[in-house]
Amino acid sequence: MRESNRSIKVQKFVPFDLRFMIDCNIVGGNWIEVPCGKYKKMSKPLSYCQLEFDCLYPLYDTFIITPSSFCH
């Protein structure tokens, strides 16, 4: 059998924040839990979000809380 050539298709013009959400399986409306001391509050807001924080990625002890996890 001959091995087929596999390639990964990448969208060139996907905004960075959307690409991050896709890669981390984060959907709109999810909560993200980051441990104390691993984030800092933004001094100047960049959007109309209620809260904005900076943190380093990847944080291996970060938890993405999906809406379904509230039902258990």
pLDDT digits (tens, 9 = 90+) for 6-54: 666 666 788 888 888 888 778 887 777 888 888 899 888 888 888 888 8
Q: Report the pLDDT value the prediction gives residue 31, as an integer from 0 to 100.
A: 78
- Establish if 43 belongs to a structural domain: yes
Supply the range of the domain harboring residue 29. 16-67
Q: In this structure, what token pair is assigned to residue 39?
A: 């984030």
Q: What is the mean pLDDT of residues 51-71?
A: 69
Q: Is the pLDDT of residue 71 over 60?
A: no
Residue 33 in domain: yes
How many independent structural domains does the chain possess?
1
Output the pLDDT for position 32.
Answer: 79
d(CA 72, CA 68) in angstroms, rounded, equals 8
Residue 24: partners with Cβ closer than 8 Å, 6 or more residues away: 64
pTM of the model as a whole: 0.50
